[in-house]
Amino acid sequence: MKFNYFKYLKTEDWKIRKKELLNEANHICSECGGKAILLHHISYDNLGYEILNLDVIALCKSCHDLMHEDKITGYEDYDLGYGEKYGEW
């Protein structure tokens, strides 16, 4: 992987982007309609300029956990922090 995904998740850029994308999603979980608190990457092609519902989807914690249980993606993005970590939302 040429791009360090985990490093990227720690950048200010991503934090700002994450906020914007969650706002775009109206903080609604794309799976259950609950309160979305994080973004799950479904494609890593556009890191740095993700497009909602194409590269990332907004999810609540339980739906996100299910995503990873189903192993839809091999990457873990738990390190995004569930809001509490960065004091957001």
Residues binding Zn ion (CB under 5 A)? 29, 31-32, 34, 40, 60, 63, 77
User: Would you say 31 or 55 has its CB closer to Zn ion?
Assistant: 31
Residue identified by tokens 């809001």 is 83
User: Would you say 47 or 60 has its CB closer to Zn ion?
Assistant: 60
User: Would you say 19 or 42 has its CB closer to Zn ion?
Assistant: 42
**For residue 80, what are its two tokens?**
């995004």
Question: Closest separation between CB of residue 9 and Zn ion, Å?
Answer: 11
Question: Closest separation between CB of residue 13 and Zn ion, Å?
Answer: 19
